[in-house]
Homo-oligomer: A and B are copies of this chain.
Amino acid sequence: MSETQERPTTARLEAFSDGVLAIAITLLVLDLRVPPASDGPLLNQIGKQWPFFAAYAVSFFAIGVMWVNHHALFERIAHIDRGLLYRNLALLGGIAFLPFPTDVLATYVRHGGSNGRVAAGLYGFTMMFIGACFTSLWLHVGRHRDLLERPMTDEALRGVVVRSSVGTAIYLGATLIAGVAPIVALVLFAGVALFFALTRANV
């Protein structure tokens, strides 16, 4: 029992994770820049910045859905071990990193050629990394069932792992399509977040 008490409680781990997610989602706004008056009519300037608004909306929505999934995961967990702790830290590292590829994608999405492809690829790769962290967390829980608050059936566990892998696979597909058409990839990235939002039957 003494050993249990020395483990970080899920409460404080969730609070820390919530903090990182809330900050990452709010820092996205710093990617938006006020156009200088010398650059012409404000309305035109804001219109030209549409990729920044689109990328803001997509990443905001994606982090929001990640928060819901993170919550659904940790609600099932009663105890934390080191494997969970550092897998969660890797996940947070990916999410906290997201404002950067969002900014890169918004800057380069209209560029044809390799720059647009690299930008969309960096965004997609970050999303795949985050998806893989989620899968890895669920697999770890599957191998250490004693961490769970209540028992889960093999079937239920397989369901969440499959769902998380499907998301990662769609991100892979979107990233490959990004090689041809970065704007299509942006739409696909939004679609994956929507997929995760809509398939959470239990929320």
Q: Please tell me which stretch of A86-94, A135-143, A170-178, A183-191 contacts chain B, meaning at least 4 of its Cβ atoms lie within 8 angstroms of it.
A: A86-94
Residues of B within 8 A of A25 (CB): 20, 92, 96
Whether A68 sits at the interface, judged by CB under 8 Å, is: yes
Cα of A98 to Cα of B32 in the assembled complex, Å: 11
Residue interface bits A1-42, CB-to-B below 8 A is 1, else 0: 011011111001011101111111111111010100100011
Q: Which of the residues B43, B56, B96 comes within 8 Å of A26, measured between beta carbons?
A: B96
Q: Is the CB of A202 within 8 A of B75?
A: no
- Within the complex, what minimum Cβ distance (angstroms) separates A121 from chain B? 9
The 6 closest A-B pairs by CB, nearest first: A19-B22, A23-B26, A64-B89, A42-B115, A32-B100, A42-B118
